[in-house]
A and B are shown apart, each in its own frame.
Chain A
């Protein structure tokens, strides 16, 4: 089955700096890679996603890059703000048939004002 590793487990940055979270996956058949933000006691919230036919996607301060050959993808948050503080999870999915989500281990991001 799919295995997703995520690093770092914790990340502290000063407000305004950039944050980068990296994930690797094992199943080369996975083709959909969402990133979720989860606040304490709440459901995961999709913040950006990328499909295997795309190398990079950006949405305002958030960007995701995908390297299919190396089987890794990264989340980039620029100009971080205190409200970005949360736990972030990457995930890998084989879409096309209601496949299950395999989550990374999570990164607790703290943005220091």
Chain B
């Protein structure tokens, strides 16, 4: 079993919909959680980061961590075609930004 599970999709939704992307994990030591967005043939870019449990909001994006359930989510409000990309969750037990355990990514398609 992988340490981090993420549904590869694709997830296809109409423009304007609320999107929910999720990851589950097995290691209770994980404390630092990140979401990266990766466009086709590009490198990933950091979208959101959170420490421990709780919510964090940035514009149309909200990251949510439920450590008791070992479950993290990324919500995208008012989704746009430009949000079409692969979204990867990544997490770590220590404070470093590079020794991360990555999910396989969910491909998101926003239909105009």
Partners in one complex: no
B interface residue numbers (CB < 8 A to A) = none
**Interface, chain A (partner B; CB < 8 A):** none
